[in-house]
Structure formats: C-alpha cells, structure tokens
Amino acid sequence: MVHTRSSTKNTKGGSASRVSISAMIADAVKVKANCEQAIPETTYHSVQECEPEPTGQHHNFCILCQDGGDLWPCSNCERVVCSLCMTVPVEVQEKVCASDIVFECVCCHWLKSRRSSTVTPYWATGGPVEMATQVLVPYFPNGGFRFIDLPFDIGTKTLTDHSDNSRSDLFFGATPGAKNKASLPSECLDALLSPFNNILHGGLFVLLACGSVVRNEECFVSLQDAVVRHRFSSTIAFDAERLQTVLTSNLIMGVVECMFIEGYPVQMAMPEALGESSRLRYHLNVNLLTLAYTDTTSQLTITKFMWSHRDIWPWGAPLPTQCPQCGCIQVQWFKCANNECGKVNGSGPQKFRFTKALDITLLKPGKRSNSAWLEMPMGVREFPLHVS
C-alpha cells in the first residue's frame, strides 16, 4: 500500500480523569499545562508503523467523514480515507504497508463495480461563531452589537474545547504530571458562566463539543441542569462522536439570522436553518433545549432533529457502507444485491428492517425527493422555579 500521511484534524476528543473544578481552583498553583501536555497527539495502530508520504496531489480530508488526521491515500485517485473510518488490524499492518500493496478507495471500487455491472465485495478555523458575527454586524451600523471573545482559564496556560470520550466530561487542563483533567459539564459551565449570570438570561447557548456530552446520560442531565441554572432560553447541542464545528456554520448562521434579525422563535428557526444545512446530514443529530416558565416551575423541553434518507439513512438510522456479510458496496438497499451473499452458510442475502417512530415529524424545509430532516420530541423536564 502507498504510505500513509497526516493532515490537521478538525475534531476534538480524548480521555481525562474526572476531578472537581472547585478543588482545582483552590489549588490552582499546582496546575501546569501546555498544549502538548493538555491535548496529547492521538496515534492509531492502523498507521503508526508506516512512514509519512509527501503531500502530493491527494486531498487533506477523509472522503467518508471529512476529517483529517492519519490518512490512507487511494492509489487510483486523489481521495483519502482516515484511520478512524478504516482501521487496519494490528496483525496485518506490516503486510498492508508494503510498497507493493495497492489501496483502492470505496469510490473507485464502486465505480469499477458499476461499469462492469457486477456487484463485488470490497475489503478494505475561523469557526461558525466568527461567521455568525459577520452576518450580524451589518445590521447594526450605529452600534448595538459587540462581539466579545473571552479566553477560559482555570489556572492553566492551555485553552481547549475537548471533551472526554468515555465519560463526556469537559477538559480544562492537566496536572504537573501531564495527566489530563476534566469535569462534569454543569461544574465546568458554572465556573465559566457564573460571572456573567446577569446578562445570560434568555440567551442562545450553542455547545460546540463532541457528542458524548449528549449521548452520555449523566453528562446530558448535568448539561440540562446548567442550562436551567443559567436560564438560557434555548440551547443547541450536537451528538456527533467527532464533531467538526465547520459543518455547523450554516445551521448556526441560519438560527442567528432567523432569531435575532427576523424575530422568529427558535422552534420556527431550527427547521428553516436545518433546511439550509445539507453539509450536516448524517454527520450528526441536533438537540434543541428550550426553557419556559410556569408560576411554580421551569420547564425544559428537549427536541431531537435527525437527517433521513430513503436509501442510505432510513428514519435516521444508518445503513452500513458495505454488506456486513459479504462486503459488497451498494448505493441503495435493504437487502444485499449480491446473489452469492450468504450462500456459504445458507443464511441467504443480508436484510435490514427499519420502522418509523410514532412521534416523528417530517420537516418540509430542505426536503428532497429522497431525503428530509425529522423532528422527534424527547420529553420535558420540570425544575422548581428559581427566583434570583
């Protein structure tokens, strides 16, 4: 195979032990961190034994997930596949990295199968916040709008937006022994936002962190507690395992424009903004948390938005890129099109079944003949009304 190479990663993530921020603040002098200590470079078994290849004419981002990192360049075209989308078992790494091995990406293999009419197996920074600022500035020619960029520093020299992959805690530095430290979202956000409580009430909060914060129940509940405590009227969070913030730009700009320029409530702004956010698609689901008040309680309503495609992402559930039984690559299928699939063990072609949830709503904005965004209510949490 041609040698692997590396490019800049867009996503954030890693692992860190959980500690109390209050304890760290009390003992901040012991916290020393630099960029290398706080966020160590991730290495992957699938590529670490290979020598880097010169950049050449190959792309810098994976054709499947659009992320950078350690890449496998295709021998037939300019496309690349990252080590997270294609993991090579440790026991065959040396063979795969040999100079006489040719790597054919999924696109080239599919084109070859299509031309031969034979289905064959395949084994093989400016960010959204700055962009939204540029959208808003022209609407306030005489002042009234101010962009404030506040570094967040709890006794560390490193600024980070990473989250722990296993527990979903948010990173905030490292100890003198270079051990990463992280804390629950509520504790981290309290330390960050408490000095600004008098101006946060009713604001829009967008959490640009990897989706383990949402997928982990303990941390998602912790995030909800912080949202209610700081009284954000609406919160947007994403559940992508490796969030690439650049892909959220259209959504955030659309929501900001609809809410703050056109005056729509966020419940109406979200479907319209999602309709213009085709780049998100199957990269992630979007969670919207909206806060309302009764005479005695605060009510937090949680809504999930999912992208659906008739052939490859039915009702928000992904179909595999290739048949898990025979390895064939197919553009649309609920039943493997390879007639030889399953003949060896007598099980027959691989089949998949998906059903529509009863409470799913199909959104009209951005709807195509074979794809659309879906809206699913996730419930309401009630909190005792806090009067400050």
Q: Which phi and psi (to 5°) does residue 247 adopt?
A: -75, -15
Q: Which amino acid is at 370?
A: N
Q: Are 42 and 180 in contact (CB under 8 A)?
A: no
More confident residue, 359 or 17: 359
CATH superfamily of this structure's domain 5-116? Zinc/RING finger domain, C3HC4 (zinc finger) (3.30.40.10)
List, edge to edge, every strand of the sheet that includes 234-238. 204-207, 234-238, 286-293, 297-309, 371-384, 361-362
pLDDT at 45: 37
Residue 32 has pLDDT above 50, yes or no: no
- Average pLDDT (257-266) is 92
Distance of CA 294 to the CA centre of its chain: 34
> Maximum Cα–Cα distance for the chain, whole Å?
74
List, for residues 121-135, the tens digit of each pLDDT value.
544 446 788 888 888
Residue 181 has pLDDT above 60, yes or no: yes
- Average pLDDT (305-332) is 77
Per-residue confidence band for 40, with pLDDT thresholds at 50, 70 and 90: very low
Query: What's the CA gap between 182 and 224, in Å, rounded?
Result: 18
Quote the strand ranges of 32-90, DSSP E: 69-73, 80-82
Per-residue confidence band for 304, with pLDDT thresholds at 50, 70 and 90: very high
pLDDT at 165: 60
Residue 217 has pLDDT above 70, yes or no: yes
Residue-averaged pLDDT of the chain? 76
Percent of the chain with pLDDT over 90: 20
Residue 338 has pLDDT above 50, yes or no: yes
- Average pLDDT (359-378) is 88
List, for residues 58-114, the tens digit of each pLDDT value.
888 888 777 777 888 888 888 888 888 777 778 877 877 877 777 888 788 777 766
DSSP per residue, 75-134: SSSS-EEETTTSPPPGGGHHHHTSTT-----HHHHHHHHHHHT---B------HHHHHHH
More confident residue, 150 or 387: 150
Residue 176 has pLDDT above 70, yes or no: no
pLDDT at 272: 93
Structure tokens at 62: 């994976």
pLDDT at 177: 61
Query: What's the CA gap between 231 and 388, in Å, rounded?
Result: 11
Helix (H, G, I), strand (E, B) or coil at 66: coil
Q: Are 181 and 16 in contact (CB under 8 A)?
A: yes
pLDDT at 90: 81
Residue 39 has pLDDT above 50, yes or no: no
Per-residue confidence band for 35, with pLDDT thresholds at 50, 70 and 90: very low
| Ranges of CATH 3.30.40.10 domains, the chain | 5-116
Residue 240 has pLDDT above 60, yes or no: yes
Contacts of 190 (CB under 8 A, 6+ apart): 21, 226, 229
Angle at 13 between CA 12 and CA 16, to 5 degrees: 140
pLDDT at 359: 87
Residue 46 has pLDDT above 50, yes or no: no
pLDDT at 298: 92
pLDDT at 279: 75
pLDDT at 287: 95
Tell me the helices (H) and strands (E) count for the chain, helix number first: 11, 12
Per-residue confidence band for 167, with pLDDT thresholds at 50, 70 and 90: low
Query: What's the CA gap between 91 and 89, in Å, rounded?
Result: 6
- Average pLDDT (48-64) is 60
Residue 261 has pLDDT above 80, yes or no: yes
Q: Are 374 and 305 in contact (CB under 8 A)?
A: yes
Percent of the chain with pLDDT over 70: 72
Per-residue confidence band for 13, with pLDDT thresholds at 50, 70 and 90: low
pTM across the whole model: 0.64
- Average pLDDT (233-258) is 89
Give how far Cα 370 sits from Cα of 110, 111, 165, 310, Å: 21, 22, 33, 5
